[in-house]
Amino acid sequence: MGSPAEENKKPLERIDSSYRVRTGFFAAIWIMWVGVFQDRRQIWVTSLRNIRTSYSNTVLGFGWAVIMPLVPVSAYILIGILFQRTRTEMPYLMFVTVGLTIFLMVTWPIAGTITAVRSDATLLSRSNVRMTTIVLSAFGNHFWATFIRIFAIIGLFFYFSISFEVENLLFLFILIPGVLLSFGLGAIGVVLNSLARDTENIIGILMRYLVFFSGVVIPLPKTETIQKWIIFNPFYTYVNEARSLLVHGFLENPTVLYWTMFGSIVFYLIMTSIMYRIEPRIRVHF
């Protein structure tokens, strides 16, 4: 029987995927990430190609790659200015720009995973290319958009004369478990979307409401009831704590953050192990 590393080299019909079910929990996770390492060049090349081709036939060309990442930020800032008298502990422009950048960094894999798999459904059904490789290859445009927004944040630090310490960059590290959590949720979305194609649209709607329930655009009231239940929204914790660390240099509720990070990692590991086992079955639905 062939090893998992040899799957891409074999015709699809010759693969016996039953060994996946018998693979241990940590072995499945290890095999998944070894596959990512083996496909690293393909992921890199495909990501760059996606960035170049996204705006290749437009009048502004690559200029859209700079403009489009800033459109969501400007739209939510306009909403806040027109419809809310928002009071924040930092300049509102900084509040929204940082909050939305963090939110999109963390939550992109939820919808991005579903979209990537759906877009390359034919490739998945006719070849043995790894599903993880397809998902990560679609990460290029998101990474570039985040890069542009971070430059905008740097500009705001100078504009508002906000002091910055190197330690503030730790906010990037506390977001890693949040990204892993979203990959796990995205995996569930892929399974559901393979059964009912409405899933992708439903998740898209939920993500738009989640922006408001995560304190991205408008600070949530500090009432006892809201604060009691909001801790069950991990994305609120990531947005609020990472924004506070980046701008103010401290965590508002480190205990909740650490438990959220721990739960996110555990959830991701469980979903990775499960997805390794059921990936061959998902392919037959495409």
Q: Give tens-digit pLDDT for 49-100.
A: 777 776 666 556 666 666 666 767 777 667 666 555 556 678 888 888 899 9
Residue 233 three-state SS: coil
Q: Show the DSSP H helices in 120-138 as ranges.
A: 121-126, 131-137
Q: Where are the domains of the chain?
A: 23-283
How confident is the model at residue 14, as a pLDDT?
38
CA dihedral 69, 52, 43, 9 (to 10 degrees): 150
How confident is the model at residue 65, as a pLDDT?
63
CA distances, 228 to each of 24, 45, 128, 216, 242 (Å): 38, 46, 46, 18, 20
Tens-place pLDDT, residues 177-197: 999 999 999 989 888 887 888
How confident is the model at residue 81, as a pLDDT?
61
In whole angstroms, give the CA distance from residue 214 to residue 244.
14
Structure tokens at 268: 């991701």
How confident is the model at residue 85, as a pLDDT?
55
Mark the ranges of the chain whose per-residue pLDDT is less than 70.
1-19, 21, 54-69, 71, 76-77, 79-88, 284-286
How confident is the model at residue 35, as a pLDDT?
85
CA atoms within 13 A on the CB side of 124: 22
